[in-house]
Amino acid sequence: MKKLMTTDDLARDERFRRTPVPLDFLMAEEVTVEQVEETMLMLLGNDEMRQTLEQQSAGGGGPNIFRRVRPEEDDAPVFIKSQMHGIFMGEMQALEAAGRSAWDFTDDDELPWKFQFDMARQCWDETRHVETYSALLDHVGCDIGEFAENLFLFEFGCSDDPAERVVGVNRCLEGLALDVFNDTIRFGRSADDDTIWKSVDYVSADEVTHVRFGQVWSKALTADDPERRAKIVNFQRKVDRAFSLGGLRGAYDGANTEQFLPLAIEFRKLAGFTDQDIADVAGAAPKVKGRR
């Protein structure tokens, strides 16, 4: 079986469409508000979503995608569909990335067997999550393929260094997933929708373990190699910056329910994040020019 696949090698059936990942934008140290909005529209949008955002713009001001949506709002159905679809695609890619990590490094004699064991355990979990989110898509009336897929997650799962893999996928991306899940649980609770909040809470328990794999393995694999450790920390900073979504994620304050996608402090602490780790993520955003 082939090792070290690229994103082009990922197979999908005819239901799926792809949108490119704007890596240059995501890694930039300085961005403009317009670039952030364009990118988010490209990543999240479909025709229904674009129409919703254009209607908002017609009322004055820019498209309001950086806010939390409440169940009683008119555009809540399209937002929750978009969110569920994005998570569903993320679960599939998490399964694929963990599967690759279990297989790609089997020739590396220095890599502990427990690493592959943890990645295999993760595959088992992610398979269950794909099933769960497939059912949640049915629950919110969304078809698979209704929104475009971006290969955001898998892109960071293609590194040839296992420590970078777990930093990119487990620590950074699944850390972001904890924030998104926390937000989805909050949405489900305020909508009185037990199916949503209980299912997502159940999946979150596994994700905490996966984020912990990232914390533990990135340190364990680099403990005796300061040069590799420095390279990994540098990579981590870049990925944290990419996942700040152009720095417009709000104040990262979990107590402030008005902000777009605050950090899920409680979940992240369960996954082994220290206060310093949380401060690093919160401070990772690029400089945003022209912020409204």
Q: Which of 94, 119, 163, 167 binds Fe ion (CB under 5 A)?
A: 94
Q: Which stretch binds Fe ion (CB under 5 A): 61-69, 71-79, 143-151, 208-216?
A: 208-216
Q: Is 91 in the site for Fe ion (CB under 5 A)?
A: yes
Asked whether the beta carbons of 63 and 41 are under 8 A apart, the reply is: yes
Nearer to Fe ion, 44 or 166 (CB): 166
Q: Which stretch binds Fe ion (CB under 5 A): 29-37, 94-102, 110-118, 234-242?
A: 94-102
Q: Give the whole-angstrom CA distance, residue 45 versus residue 147.
A: 7
Contacts 24+ apart (CB under 8 A), 186-190: 186/257, 187/69, 187/70, 187/71, 187/80, 187/83, 190/70, 190/71
Helix (H, G, I), strand (E, B) or coil at 79: helix
Residues in contact with Fe ion, shown as a per-residue x/- string from 178 to 207 under the rule CB under 5 A: -----------------------------x
The count of chain residues that interact with Fe ion, using the rule CB under 5 A, is 7
Provide, rounded to whole angstroms, the least separation between the CB of residue 170 and Fe ion: 7
Q: Which stretch binds Fe ion (CB under 5 A): 48-56, 85-93, 253-261, 282-290?
A: 85-93
Asked whether the beta carbons of 250 and 260 are under 8 A apart, the reply is: yes
Provide, rounded to whole angstroms, the least separation between the CB of residue 56 and Fe ion: 31
Nearer to Fe ion, 75 or 201 (CB): 201
Q: Is 129 in the site for Fe ion (CB under 5 A)?
A: yes
Provide, rounded to whole angstroms, the least separation between the CB of residue 208 and Fe ion: 9
Nearer to Fe ion, 183 or 207 (CB): 207
Contacts 24+ apart (CB under 8 A), 191-196: 191/71, 191/76, 193/71, 195/136, 195/139, 196/80, 196/136, 196/139, 196/140
Q: Give the whole-angstrom CA distance, residue 273 versus residue 262.
A: 15
Q: Give the whole-angstrom CA distance, residue 192 versus residue 195.
A: 9
Nearer to Fe ion, 175 or 286 (CB): 175
Asked whether the beta carbons of 4 and 10 are under 8 A apart, the reply is: no
Provide, rounded to whole angstroms, the least separation between the CB of residue 137 and Fe ion: 15
Q: Give the whole-angstrom CA distance, residue 48 versus residue 54.
A: 10
Nearer to Fe ion, 93 or 236 (CB): 93
How many Cβ atoms sit within 10 Å of the Cβ of residue 231?
15
Q: Which stretch binds Fe ion (CB under 5 A): 15-23, 27-35, 87-95, 265-273?
A: 87-95
Nearer to Fe ion, 155 or 207 (CB): 207
Provide, rounded to whole angstroms, the least separation between the CB of residue 14 and Fe ion: 25
Nearer to Fe ion, 180 or 242 (CB): 180
Q: Which stretch binds Fe ion (CB under 5 A): 112-120, 166-174, 229-237, 257-265?
A: 166-174
Q: Give the whole-angstrom CA distance, residue 131 versus residue 120.
A: 17
Q: Please state the φ and ψ torsions of residue 19, each to the nearest 5 degrees.
A: -120, 140
By CB neighbour count within 10 A (0-12 exposed, 13-18 middle, 19+ buried), where does 30 fall? exposed
Q: Is 210 in the site for Fe ion (CB under 5 A)?
A: yes
Provide, rounded to whole angstroms, the least separation between the CB of residue 46 and Fe ion: 23
Task: Name which of 210, 218, 121, 231 is nearest 165 in CA terms.
Answer: 218
Q: Which residues bind Fe ion (CB under 5 A)?
A: 91, 94, 126, 129, 174, 207, 210
